[in-house]
């Protein structure tokens, strides 16, 4: 049911590897026109546009876009005890891991009286998007909010689509998690319109513009994030999830198949890839995938993902070739299930998050590992990082020179400003020694 790519006996170049990696046939550009219309509508008509869009796209018209605090409090009070406990522990773990991503300020003395201070300044206000389509993602509330709070962001707004099943309210579990995290500014709005509302603000409901928009979403959310970039920062243009497993003969076929299916249930376009140098393991995994696809809850969705062009079993000559293929793929989630996973890790350059050994499945990272599950998709891990406290921090250099230290480099500034035919630069330094 899943395609096989046989690279045994081949030595593809880096460019050839990039051409060989399986990808979903999605293109954000096809959604740009619709996303632009939705954003322009919000800029022109504000809350009325958001209400109309909710009625048309989410099949429900909320009573208001801004969620009353009473709704948040009610959701916290009604939260299932087991979910409540799980969320609190996840918050604790993610907060600990996020704290490690905040660098300390560092002062470098380049000469007596000449200092460069490196500091990391949080953005002042962010808009966090939590999707609400095929599944409900309270875990995404944690993964967005906790790093922002850890970075020191002062003002946090959260948006999630209104739910027809709950009378136009944001899903109560999402509201409850927001309440547990102390988030009081929540909006019942979804899709491209929500992204536009964050970027440009909606005066009528007290929604001030944000400096950054983060969080996963569908292709229209990704397109909207591309469109508002420049007005506000973004984390990434998130697409369908993907998982790549590197395994050798020691891999457990049942566990590998279970992990692949766990990501395939997200979306029909989810990419599930096994790269192995063991043909018998590959055959065993394929049999397990067929069995699980028939019995899992979201069977049709999983089958569509496994049989899509974005999923494959890749046969290679050795683990070095497997690592090279993985680096070309740039997986959002990379599992290493080999005899010596730490040695394979040394070969890995590109991955959103890496899970070592059979007891570190991707679904652990989705919920309770302490790592962040908002990660670069579609090969973007080749040049981008996942969401973390650093996402909300801007490195700034602070320059502090004494008069004596400035005098020491006065001649250097004059020489360089003359070389660049910008004499006023040098004059600005000379003016201090008249």
Which residues belong to the annotated binding site for Zn(2+)?
263, 266, 366, 425
Token pair in block for residue 218: 């569908």
* 48 catalytically annotated: no
Contact assessment for residue 310 and residue 23, using Cβ atoms and an 8 Å cutoff: yes
**Residue 332 known to be catalytic:** yes
The three-state secondary structure class of 408 is helix
Binding residues, by number, are 241, 263, 266, 333, 366, 420, 425
| Catalytic residue (one of 47, 333, 335, 373) | 333
Query: Cβ–Cβ contacts within 10 Å for residue 107, how many?
Result: 11
- Strands 114-122, 186-188: pairing is unpaired
The DSSP 8-state label assigned to residue 6 in this structure reads E
Q: Which of 47, 185, 237, 332 is catalytic?
A: 332
Q: How many CB atoms lie within 10 A of CB 18?
A: 14
Residue pair 227/216 in contact (Cβ under 8 Å)? The answer is no
- Could you tell me which residues are beta bridge partners of residue 120? 395
Residue among 369, 48, 335, 373 at smallest CA distance from 238: 373
Strand order in the sheet with 333-337: 4-6, 312-315, 271-276, 242-247, 333-337, 353-356
Contact 71, 176 (CB under 8 A): no
User: What is the bridge-based pairing of β-strands 114-122 and 393-401?
Assistant: antiparallel
Rounded Cα distance, 85 and 367, in Å: 13
Closest CA to 372 of 87, 152, 142: 142
Return binding residues for substrate.
241, 263, 266, 333, 366, 420, 425
Cα four-point dihedral sign 330, 331, 332, 337? negative
CB 361 within 8 A of CB 247: no
DSSP reduced 3-state for 370: coil
Rounded to the nearest 10 degrees, the angle between the axes of helix 191-200 and helix 219-228 is 20
Q: Which tokens hold the place of 194?
A: 């929500």
Active site residues: 332-333
């Amino acid at each position: 049911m899943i395609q096989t790519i046989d690279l045994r006996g081949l030595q593809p170049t880096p460019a050839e590897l990039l051409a060989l990696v399986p990808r979903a046939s999605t293109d954000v550009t096809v959604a740009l026109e619709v996303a632009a219309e939705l954003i322009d509508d919000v800029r022109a008509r504000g809350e009325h546009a958001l209400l109309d869009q909710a009625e048309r796209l989410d099949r429900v018209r909320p009573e208001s876009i801004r969620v009353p605090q009473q709704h948040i409090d009610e959701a916290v009070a009604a939260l299932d005890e087991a979910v409540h406990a799980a969320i609190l522990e996840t918050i604790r773990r993610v907060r600990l891991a996020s704290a490690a991503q905040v660098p300390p300020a560092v002062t470098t003395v380049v000469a007596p009286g000449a200092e460069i201070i490196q500091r990391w300044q949080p953005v002042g206000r962010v808009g966090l998007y939590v999707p609400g389509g095929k599944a409900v993602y309270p875990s995404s509330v944690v993964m967005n909010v906790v790093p922002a709070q850890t970075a020191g962001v002062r003002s946090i707004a959260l948006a999630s689509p209104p739910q027809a099943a709950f009378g136009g309210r944001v899903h109560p579990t999402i509201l409850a998690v927001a309440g547990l995290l102390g988030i009081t500014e929540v909006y019942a709005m979804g899709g491209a319109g929500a992204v536009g509302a964050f970027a440009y603000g909606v005066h009528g409901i007290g929604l001030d513009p944000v400096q950054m928009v983060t969080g996963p979403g569908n292709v229209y959310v990704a397109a909207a994030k591309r469109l508002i970039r420049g007005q506000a920062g973004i984390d990434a243009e998130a697409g369908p999830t993907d998982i790549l497993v590197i395994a050798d003969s020691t891999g457990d076929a049942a566990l590998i198949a279970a992990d692949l299916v766990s990501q395939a249930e997200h979306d029909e376009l989810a990419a599930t890839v096994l790269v192995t140098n063991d043909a018998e393991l590959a055959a065993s995994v394929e049999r397990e995938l067929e069995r699980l696809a028939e019995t899992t809850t979201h069977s049709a969705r999983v089958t569509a993902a496994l049989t899509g062009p974005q999923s494959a079993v890749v046969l290679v000559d050795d683990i070095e070739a497997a690592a090279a293929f993985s680096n070309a793929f740039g997986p959002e989630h990379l599992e290493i299930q080999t005899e010596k996973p730490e040695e394979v890790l040394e070969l890995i350059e590109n991955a959103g998050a890496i899970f070592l050994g059979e007891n570190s499945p991707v679904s652990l990272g989705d919920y309770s590992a302490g790592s962040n599950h908002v990660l670069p998709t579609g090969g973007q891990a080749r040049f981008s990082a996942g969401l973390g406290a650093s996402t909300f921090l801007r490195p700034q250099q602070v320059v502090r020179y004494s008069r004596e230290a400035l005098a020491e480099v006065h001649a250097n500034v004059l020489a360089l400003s003359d070389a660049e035919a910008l004499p006023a630069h040098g004059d600005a330094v000379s003016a201090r020694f008249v």
